[in-house]
Amino acid sequence: MDNAEFDRALIASAFVLIADHGWSRLSIAEAARRADLPLDRARARFPGRAMVLARFGRLADQAALAGAPNEGVPRDRLFDMLMRRIDVLQSHRAGVLALLRGLPAKPLLALMLSVASVRSMGWMLQGAGISATGPLGRLRAKGLLGVWLWTLRAWRGDESVDLATAMAALDTALARAERAAGWLPGGGERKAEFPAPPSDALATDVPAQPPPPEAPPAGPFTEPSPEPL
């Protein structure tokens, strides 16, 4: 079993535990035992619980970028990649939902995810052929984080097999962001008016509406400082 396979197995086991007992009671050793993985290797690969989320985020990014289309307009390419990220979350749905429900009471964990998420959105932009460097790149990454949180909000309440609600939310948010000045290449000069949230959305830790790209997203995922997601 190579490192990637090992990581996927332990992460899957960890999210089962999170679904059953919450983040605070997650034990890497117990996750390894349940997955029949050697404890010494688990200790080396996952020295702390936060590493589960760090590696999970990287796996989600890799899944999105592995299928990044080489053709098409930026909006369509971003849609494809972000839905691939949603598919990764969907594969561990119960555990991810349990994690998100507990985030308001864990500000340091939420801050870590905020930083990681902005960096991930930068990778999504670059995968779509959009610059994510410099001040404008950082602004775009924060704008795309708003789109991601909006989609995540819809996904939390989407019980359908085909995730139609999440897809519709992502498509709408990207369409509005595309029209925001300076956000995506080819965007117009009019600022976007974002739609009302889905009626069945469950989130309490994301904005009621996607923020305009000019401002960082509100809530516990907000990145408070420039570097070091």
pLDDT in tens, 96-128: 999 999 999 999 999 999 999 999 999 999 999
Domain count, the chain: 2
Return the CATH number at 44. 1.10.10
| Same domain, residue pair 129 and 24 | no
Q: How many CA atoms, within 13 angstroms, populate the side-chain half-sphere of residue 67?
A: 15
Q: DSSP label at 214?
A: T
What are the DSSP E strand ranges found in the chain?
A: none
pLDDT tens by residue, the chain, 229 residues:
899 999 999 999 999 999 999 999 999 999 999 999 999 999 999 999 999 999 999 999 999 999 777 778 888 999 999 999 999 999 999 999 999 999 999 999 999 999 999 999 999 999 998 999 999 889 899 999 999 999 999 999 999 999 999 999 999 999 888 777 555 654 433 333 334 434 333 333 444 444 444 333 333 333 333 332 2
212: left (phi over 0), alpha (psi -120 to 50) or beta: beta
pTM: 0.78
Task: Tell me how far apart the alpha carbons of residues 76 and 15 are, in angstroms, rounded to a whole number.
Answer: 30
10 Å CB burial of residue 108 (0-12, 13-18, 19+) is: exposed
| Same domain, residue pair 134 and 203 | yes
| Same domain, residue pair 55 and 39 | no
| Same domain, residue pair 123 and 135 | yes
Residue ranges making up the domain that contains 166: 49-229
219: nearest Cα among 114, 120, 112, 144: 114
Taking CB atoms within 8 Å and a gap of at least 24, the contacts of 24-32 are: 24/102, 26/52, 28/52
Residue 186 CB: number of other CB atoms within 10 A?
A: 10
| Same domain, residue pair 35 and 53 | no
Task: Tell me how far apart the alpha carbons of residues 185 and 87 are, in angstroms, rounded to a whole number.
Answer: 26
